């Protein structure tokens, strides 16, 4: 969802506070010289992001819009029958058939006053619509305005009932065609014409919108000619040209100006009731005038044509409605029984009744022919309007996404098919029983027009409040509604009054339950739809913060006057300029609240899933799931049991204390973490693959008395116990009793080892049972309480304990929800270590959304097997895995020989060109054909066919790989940026931003600035963009390192900014781009600074046979050397080609034997040089020599952190001799004499 043409709305949707203050809505005021005069906006009426998916075409010309407005007014002039059993408010062909009902009910003057009064209400609606629609001419205008300005639930309920009114009326109009033709031949079966015209009109709506506009232009012209002709005819007859001579105002005197309503007394009350009944009928008669707003989304120059059409509404109301009622009242007395008879052909038309009274006999056939064109016009507009409303609903996330899809000509074919399908309900009218059901279906749509009008008036009031909150003058708008805000309040009040009183005849002469429900079923369903579609506050707020800025506005805004010497201006997210976001829901202030609120909201939704291991078959089975309610119960029991155990072992402490958590990703990891929160404790996560010395350091540093762990780690803990004086409790997440012989169970063996070491071992089941019997209530945490101490991976020195609080967690999760667009029922794959804050944050976000989390079975090599079973909708990963995905996709597609490879290269080339379209409004990763026949299969091979969004974090993602994965999978892939100290959230790309090589916009919870680095020649005064170290501040940013004030002072400035160590620039769109690293910078002998991590990223992304890379530079050397770990399968193919002999990818010995082959080395150096030239690297940035290995850097050899980051100093220490040899070899080769030609 995108805000159009400089408009941003932030609806207030918190409980009863909706629209309660000026901060409820935000409109970002454009300057008169830019936004309002923007040629592109003038032409397209949308921002770069408003129209990327529903690519409707603006092909309706001004004359089309004018005639659509006129024709709509006429064909919607269909007052309901006064019979309480008749359908009230059917939008149809009433001008020529049932307009006499108003006079028959209220008399000529009563009807005239009623239509004038309701016309004034309608004009208020059209004024409101004109001001909004001319400024925001978007598809599905009504639902979009309601959803964005007031509440998504209003957009949902109003949109679907309004759509149903058009869809069901399409069936009614098709039925009418048969009834009208039966005027000439009573024996014809109407089913024939329902079928014929259904096919014709449905096919016609698959044509471009310009055809619709042209057809409506000529249909409306026929209507206009007919109405004008009738008025001339009426003047002549009234003047005495008919059989009855001069009439004048005879019928206003006898039988009189007002008619009394039947069964009501006294006479004055009866006449008022008659007037009120017509007031209600008149309201239904005007329905359809608002279709100008729908057509606006496909109109050329909407800012000119819409105001023109709106201004002429006054004359249309006066001419087509009021004057028609006036002339009918002059020619036909209200006592004429034919006025209130039910009928569907020309015999029921007041035009024909007037002609017959005047002695004219030919008119019925003419009127009947006109009626046929009117009905066909109405039916055509039903399908058109219904399909466009579906686009609006889909665009707001209130209908399936596929309704947004359009053909190349801009036809929303799914919307057309779905709407047209309801026309088949017309066949129900062929039988009596079916007709009864059909009439009830029509009643559901009874007040759709009134609901829409109410919403438009309310939206306009909200729109004006938003303008005022942003100090934007309405004088800048393309169209300024008159008499505001009073006129919109006037329309809102009387629209509501009509809705509430439209069924008053259910009480006349006595109350009828049937009539009551016929009148109010639509209103009841509307209220129910609003209630059940009410989006949770936090998801609605996330939708608001996800909106795109106006065209030309940056994603992150530099706040004026905030710069300081050596620092740039402070940047904030576009929609968080006034205040940073702390939470998406004022009732959710802690991570405990996040889970608890969702568990209470969707208790039976799947929550945590795993693949159980079958001991018999030695395989992992399909996923099994715990629902939110089950997890809620287990976390409560386990949390209470943890506290009970600490009391039992005399190690309970007042206040907060930590619980160690050491295991792979699994449901019990989250149950433990949630259990800690439930008792105001905090978890201290330990990487599953951490070395024993680091584990010892963390347990002692965090002063842990209890560690919850998986079975394989218990022997390690017992071995370390002499070095862990505080450790008293070990809790196994795996069972310790498996039916073994007494005395030989795992429990017995472990307890025998633990004996005498002052440590007790329990299972999670025992602790949960203890907690369940304790009746210990929650001890819910406060926002300032610690949620975790997360130890950094420690690339240099011992790991630092980052103290993170619940308010850090909630603010960061708010930012994550804005980025990931998760919703209830979504699926997340969990395999990144939960000890890493990135993975932990993603699962917080899943909990808040009500999504489910499926854990991998433990073997990262077989991750794709898990993904194929899980079919996640969201996928979070790191560049290293994405690089493997990219290499695998290339190897099986674009690198293949023959037709398969040729087709794949063509698909990638075409989709890449679409992705990089200079017109950003047309740039897309989607392709109607290639996504179906190619990208869907590629994604399915990875288990990602249902994935809507992928997120990359932890390190920069190479731009070429980024774009390749976008086009290959057809899914959104966004780059994010965060650190442990910012709870993994700082900035992330918008899914609409299809650029690469940047980290996107700031999260709404974070602000940033840059600080100059003179020693590295980076300055905030640099052009075109400022450059410097990125500083971050916000509620998500930590306050201290645990028991480490010295490092805390180094990391946090006196005014609260966190020094990230990353050197960045911020472009004109407010996107963060990492260009260097302050700490990992090398200085070569010639004085040049090198960023090895950046170069490693370049080479690894380009050469698929590399899996790992380390680039080294010595201060006494003028060039670089490297050590690279190879990808066996890709390297085998590369080596086979270089050496001219086959090497199998499974032949590890054969691969090792050629790693040091000089031909291979030179071929690799040639590739490295090619990549360097492609990326325009300087000479001193190019690798002059290298060594190849299998897995040179692993967690086990202590050269990788658990998060797979290189430990650069240990690498140098371990490979110092090899590095020296590489330098010596390169120097010798450089100095060797060159052969002469």
Provide the pairing of β-strand 874-877 with 972-977: unpaired
Confidence of residue 1233 (pLDDT cuts 50, 70, 90): low
**Tokens standing for 1192?**
């040179």
How confident is the model at residue 36, as a pLDDT? 32
Query: How many whole angstroms separate alpha carbon 588 and alpha carbon 719?
Result: 42
Burial track 335-344 (b if 16+ CB lie within 10 A, e otherwise) = ebebbbeeeb
Q: Of the ranges 74-78, 469-473, 793-797, 850-854, which is most confident? A: 850-854
Selected residue with higher pLDDT from 1054 and 186: 1054
Q: What is the pLDDT of residues 466-486, one digit of tens each?
A: 888 767 888 888 889 999 999
Provide the pairing of β-strand 613-614 with 556-558: unpaired
Q: Of the ranges 78-87, 520-529, 637-646, 1206-1215, which is most confident? A: 637-646
Residue 267: pLDDT above 60?
Answer: yes
Mean pLDDT of the chain: 82
The string of DSSP letters for 131-188 reads: HHHHH---TTHHHHHHHHHT-HHHHHHHHHHHHHHHHHHHHHHHHHHHHHHTTT-TTS
Residue 795: pLDDT above 60?
Answer: no
Query: How many whole angstroms separate alpha carbon 234 and alpha carbon 232?
Result: 5
- Which of left, alpha, beta for 1140 (phi over 0: left; psi -120 to 50: alpha)? left
Residue 547: pLDDT above 60?
Answer: yes
Selected residue with higher pLDDT from 431 and 387: 387
How confident is the model at residue 963, as a pLDDT? 94
> 665, 834 in Cβ contact below 8 A?
yes
Stretch among 535-544, 603-612, 933-942 having the lowest mean pLDDT: 535-544
Residue 749: pLDDT above 70?
Answer: no
Query: How many whole angstroms separate alpha carbon 388 and alpha carbon 1163?
Result: 59
Q: Mutual orientation of helices 100-135 and 302-311 as an angle, nearest 10°?
A: 150
Sign of CA dihedral 843, 844, 846, 851: positive
For a pLDDT cut of 90, what percent of the chain falls above it? 41
Residue 77: pLDDT above 60?
Answer: no
Sheet holding 1120-1126, edge to edge: 1106-1112, 1120-1126, 1183-1189
Query: How many whole angstroms separate alpha carbon 567 and alpha carbon 1022?
Result: 12
Residue 218: pLDDT above 80?
Answer: no
Selected residue with higher pLDDT from 519 and 857: 857
Strand, coil or helix: 319? helix
Residue 438: pLDDT above 80?
Answer: no
How confident is the model at residue 903, as a pLDDT? 94
| Section 1170-1186 average pLDDT | 89
For a pLDDT cut of 70, what percent of the chain falls above it? 85
Confidence of residue 295 (pLDDT cuts 50, 70, 90): low
Alpha helix positions (H), 1007-1073 = 1045-1051
Neighbours of 1075 (CB within 10 A): 15
Stretch among 279-288, 407-416, 889-898 having the lowest mean pLDDT: 279-288
How confident is the model at residue 67, as a pLDDT? 43
Q: Is 65 exposed, middle or buried (0-12, 13-18, 19+ CB in 10 A)?
A: buried
**Tokens standing for 1212?**
């140098």
What's the half-sphere exposure (Cβ side, CA atoms, 13 Å) at 643?
25
Q: Which residues pair with 802 in a beta bridge?
A: 790, 1041
> 1032, 1055 in Cβ contact below 8 A?
no
How confident is the model at residue 355, as a pLDDT? 79
Residue 446: pLDDT above 70?
Answer: no
Stretch among 165-179, 294-308, 317-331, 806-820 having the lowest mean pLDDT: 294-308
| Section 1177-1186 average pLDDT | 89
Q: What is the pLDDT of residues 376-396, one digit of tens each?
A: 887 888 888 888 888 888 877
How confident is the model at residue 340, as a pLDDT? 67
**HEC per residue, 1005-1026:** CEEEEEECEHHHCECCCCCCCC
| Section 843-847 average pLDDT | 96
Residue 76: pLDDT above 70?
Answer: no
**Tokens standing for 1018?**
């980076």
- Look up residue 347 and give its DSSP letter: G
Residue 1163: pLDDT above 80?
Answer: yes
| Closest by Cα among 634, 107, 494, 506 to 333 | 107
How confident is the model at residue 435, as a pLDDT? 56
Q: What is the pLDDT of residues 767-784, one digit of tens each?
A: 999 999 998 999 999 999
Query: How many whole angstroms separate alpha carbon 3 and alpha carbon 50?
Result: 7
How confident is the model at residue 1087, as a pLDDT? 64
Query: How many whole angstroms separate alpha carbon 350 and alpha carbon 895?
Result: 75
Confidence of residue 582 (pLDDT cuts 50, 70, 90): very high
Query: How many whole angstroms separate alpha carbon 626 and alpha carbon 609?
Result: 6
**Tokens standing for 766?**
């025992």
Q: Which residues pair with 1074 in a beta bridge?
A: 1064
Residue 454: pLDDT above 70?
Answer: yes
Confidence of residue 425 (pLDDT cuts 50, 70, 90): confident
Stretch among 213-227, 401-415, 833-847 having the lowest mean pLDDT: 213-227
How confident is the model at residue 24, as a pLDDT? 31
| Closest by Cα among 1092, 1071, 1096, 1091 to 883 | 1096
Q: What is the pLDDT of residues 242-266, one digit of tens each?
A: 777 888 888 888 898 988 888 788 8
Domains and CATH numbers, the chain: 15-535 (1.20.1740.10), 591-781+823-843 (3.40.50.12780), 1082-1231 (3.30.300.30)
How confident is the model at residue 486, as a pLDDT? 95
H or E stretch at 1192: none
Alpha-carbon distances of 783 from 188, 643, 683, 786, 979, rounded to whole Å = 75, 21, 16, 8, 20
> 631, 853 in Cβ contact below 8 A?
no
Query: How many whole angstroms separate alpha carbon 442 and alpha carbon 428?
Result: 12
Q: What is the dihedral of CA 91, 93, 96, 98, to 10 degrees?
A: -40
> 242, 363 in Cβ contact below 8 A?
no
Q: What is the pLDDT of residues 627-661, one digit of tens each?
A: 999 999 999 999 999 999 999 999 888 889 999 99
How confident is the model at residue 503, as a pLDDT? 81
Q: What is the pLDDT of residues 961-1015, one digit of tens each?
A: 999 999 999 999 999 999 999 999 999 999 889 999 999 999 999 999 999 998 7
Q: Which residues pair with 976 in a beta bridge?
A: 988
List all residues 6 or more positions away from 929 whose beta carbon is below 8 Å from its beta carbon. none
Residues in the chain, overall count: 1237
Confidence of residue 673 (pLDDT cuts 50, 70, 90): very high
Stretch among 696-710, 855-869, 914-928, 1083-1097 having the lowest mean pLDDT: 1083-1097
Residue 710: pLDDT above 90?
Answer: yes
> 460, 310 in Cβ contact below 8 A?
no
| Closest by Cα among 828, 863, 835 to 606 | 828
The string of DSSP letters for 478-507 reads: SS--SSTTHHHHHHHHHHHHHHHHTTGGGG
How confident is the model at residue 543, as a pLDDT? 78
Is the bond preceding 740 in cis, omega lying within 30 degrees of 0? Answer: no
| Closest by Cα among 1009, 998, 1006 to 974 | 998
Q: Which residues pair with 1010 in a beta bridge?
A: 1030
- Which of left, alpha, beta for 183 (phi over 0: left; psi -120 to 50: alpha)? alpha
């Amino acid at each position: 969802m995108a805000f159009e043409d400089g408009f941003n709305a932030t609806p207030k949707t918190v409980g009863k506070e909706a629209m309660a203050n000026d901060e409820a809505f935000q409109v970002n005021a454009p300057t008169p010289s830019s936004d309002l005069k923007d040629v592109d906006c003038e032409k397209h009426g949308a921002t770069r992001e408003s129209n990327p998916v529903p690519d409707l075409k603006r092909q309706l010309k001004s004359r089309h819009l004018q005639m659509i407005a006129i024709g709509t007014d006429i064909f919607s002039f269909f007052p309901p029958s006064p019979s309480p059993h008749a359908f009230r408010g059917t939008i149809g062909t009433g001008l020529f058939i049932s307009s006499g009902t108003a006079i028959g009910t209220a008399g000529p003057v009563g009807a005239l006053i009623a239509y004038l009064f309701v016309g004034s209400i309608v004009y208020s609606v059209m004024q409101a619509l004109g001001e909004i629609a001319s400024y925001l001419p978007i598809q599905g205008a009504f639902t979009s305005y309601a959803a964005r300005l007031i509440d998504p639930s209003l957009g949902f309920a109003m949109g679907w009932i309004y759509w149903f009114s058009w869809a069901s009326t399409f069936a009614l109009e098709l039925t009418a065609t048969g009834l009208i033709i039966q005027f000439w031949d009573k024996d014809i079966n109407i089913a024939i014409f329902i079928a014929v015209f259904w096919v014709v009109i449905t096919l016609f709506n698959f044509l471009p919108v310009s055809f619709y506009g042209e057809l409506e232009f000529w249909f409306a012209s026929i209507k206009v000619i007919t109405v004008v002709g009738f008025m001339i005819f009426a003047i002549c007859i009234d003047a005495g040209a008919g059989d009855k001579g001069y009439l004048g105002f005879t019928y206003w005197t006898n039988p009189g100006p007002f008619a009394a309503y039947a069964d009501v007394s006294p006479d004055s009350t009866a006449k008022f009731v008659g007037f009120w009944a017509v007031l209600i009928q008149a309201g239904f008669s005007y329905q359809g005038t608002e279709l100008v707003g729908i057509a606006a989304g496909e109109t050329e120059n909407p800012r000119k044509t819409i105001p023109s059409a709106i201004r002429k509404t006054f004359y249309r109301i006066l001419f087509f409605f009021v004057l028609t009622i006036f002339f009918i009242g002059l020619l036909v007395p209200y006592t004429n029984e034919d006025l209130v008879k039910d009928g569907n052909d020309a015999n029921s038309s007041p035009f024909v009744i007037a002609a017959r009274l005047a002695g004219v006999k030919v008119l019925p056939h003419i009127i009947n022919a006109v009626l046929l064109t009117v009905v066909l016009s109405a039916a055509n507009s039903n399908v058109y309007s219904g399909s466009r409303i579906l686009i609006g609903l889909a665009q707001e996330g209130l209908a399936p996404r596929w309704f947004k899809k359009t053909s190349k000509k801009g036809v929303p074919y799914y919307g057309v098919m779905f709407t047209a399908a309801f026309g088949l309900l017309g066949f129900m009218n062929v039988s009596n029983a079916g007709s009864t059901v059909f009439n009830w279906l029509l009643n559901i749509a009874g007040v759709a027009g009134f609901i829409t009008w109410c919403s438009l008036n309310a939206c306009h009031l909200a729109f004006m409040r938003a303008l005022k909150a942003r100090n934007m003058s309405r004088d800048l708008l393309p169209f300024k509604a008159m008499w505001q805000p009073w006129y919109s309040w006037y329309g809102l009040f009387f629209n509501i009054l009509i809705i509430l009183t439209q069924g008053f005849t259910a009480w006349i002469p006595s109350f009828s339950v049937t009539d009551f429900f016929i009148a109010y079923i639509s209103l009841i369903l509307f209220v129910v739809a609003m209630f059940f579609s009410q989006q949770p506050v936090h998801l609605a707020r996330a939708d608001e913060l996800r909106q795109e800025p106006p065209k030309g506005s940056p994603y992150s805004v530099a706040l004026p006057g905030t710069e300081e010497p050596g620092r740039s201006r402070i940047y904030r997210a576009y929609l968080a300029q006034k205040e940073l976001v702390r939470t998406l829901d004022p009732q959710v202030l802690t991570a405990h609240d996040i889970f608890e609120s969702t568990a209470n909201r969707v208790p039976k939704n799947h929550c945590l899933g795993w693949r159980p291991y079958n001991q018999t078959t030695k395989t992992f089975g399909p996923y099994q799931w715990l629902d939110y309610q089950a997890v809620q119960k287990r976390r409560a029991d386990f949390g209470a049991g943890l506290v009970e155990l600490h009391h039992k072992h005399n190690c309970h402490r007042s206040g907060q204390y930590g619980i160690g958590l050491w295991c792979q990703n699994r449901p019990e990891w989250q149950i433990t973490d949630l259990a800690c929160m439930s008792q105001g404790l905090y978890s201290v996560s330990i990487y599953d693959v951490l070395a024993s010395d680091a584990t010892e350091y963390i347990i002692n540093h965090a002063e842990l008395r209890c560690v919850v762990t998986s079975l394989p780690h218990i022997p390690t803990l017992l071995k370390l116990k002499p070095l862990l004086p505080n450790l008293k409790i070990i809790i196994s997440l795996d069972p310790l009793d498996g039916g073994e012989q007494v005395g030989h169970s795992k429990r017995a063996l472990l307890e025998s080892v633990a004996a005498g070491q002052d440590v007790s071992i329990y299972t999670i089941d025992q602790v949960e049972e203890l907690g369940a019997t304790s009746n210990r209530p929650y001890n819910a945490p406060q926002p300032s309480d610690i949620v975790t101490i997360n130890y950094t991976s420690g690339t240099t020195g011992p790991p630092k304990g980052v103290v993170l609080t619940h308010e850090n967690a909630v603010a960061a999760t708010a930012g994550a929800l804005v980025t990931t667009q998760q919703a209830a029922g979504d699926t997340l794959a969990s395999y990144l270590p939960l000890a890493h804050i990135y993975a932990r944050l993603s699962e917080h976000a899943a909990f808040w959304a009500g999504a489910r989390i499926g854990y991998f079975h433990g073997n990262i090599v077989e991750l794709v097997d898990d993904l194929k079973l899980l079919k996640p909708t969201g996928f979070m990963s790191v560049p290293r895995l994405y690089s493997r995905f990219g290499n695998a996709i290339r190897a099986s597609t674009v690198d293949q020989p023959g037709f398969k490879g040729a087709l794949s290269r063509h698909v990638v080339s075409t989709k890449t060109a679409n992705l990089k379209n200079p017109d950003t409004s047309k740039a897309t990763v989607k392709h109607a054909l290639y996504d179906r026949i190619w990208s869907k299969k590629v994604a399915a091979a990875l288990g990602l066919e249902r994935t809507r969004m992928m997120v990359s974090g932890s390190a920069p993602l190479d731009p070429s790989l980024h774009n390749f994965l976008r086009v290959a999978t057809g899914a959104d892939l966004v780059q994010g940026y965060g650190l442990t100290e910012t709870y993994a959230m700082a900035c992330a790309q918008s899914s609409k931003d299809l650029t690469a090589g940047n980290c996107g916009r700031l999260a709404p919870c974070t602000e940033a600035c840059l600080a100059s680095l003179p020693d590295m020649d980076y300055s905030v005064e640099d052009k075109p963009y400022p450059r410097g170290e990125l500083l971050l501040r916000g509620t998500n940013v930590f306050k201290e390192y645990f028991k480490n004030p010295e490092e805390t002072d180094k990391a946090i400035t006196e005014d609260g900014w966190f020094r990230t160590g990353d050197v960045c620039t911020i472009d004109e769109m407010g996107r963060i781009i990492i260009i260097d690293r302050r700490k990992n910078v090398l200085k070569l002998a010639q004085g040049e600074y090198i960023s090895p991590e950046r170069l490693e990223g370049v080479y690894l992304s380009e050469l698929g046979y590399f899996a790992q890379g380390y680039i080294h530079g010595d201060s006494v050397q003028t060039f670089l050397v490297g050590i690279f770990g190879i990808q066996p399968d890709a390297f085998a193919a590369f080596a086979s080609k270089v050496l001219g002999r086959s090497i199998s990818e499974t032949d590890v010995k054969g691969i090792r034997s050629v790693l040091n082959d000089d031909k291979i080395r030179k071929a690799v150096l040639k590739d490295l040089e090619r990549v360097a030239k492609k990326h325009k690297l300087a000479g001193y940035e190019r690798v002059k020599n290298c060594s190849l290995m299998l897995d040179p850097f692993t967690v086990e050899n202590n050269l990788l952190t658990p998060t797979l980051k290189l430990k650069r100093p240990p690498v140098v220490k371990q490979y110092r001799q090899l590095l020296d040899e590489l330098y010596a070899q390169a120097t010798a080769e450089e100095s060797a004499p060159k052969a002469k030609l």
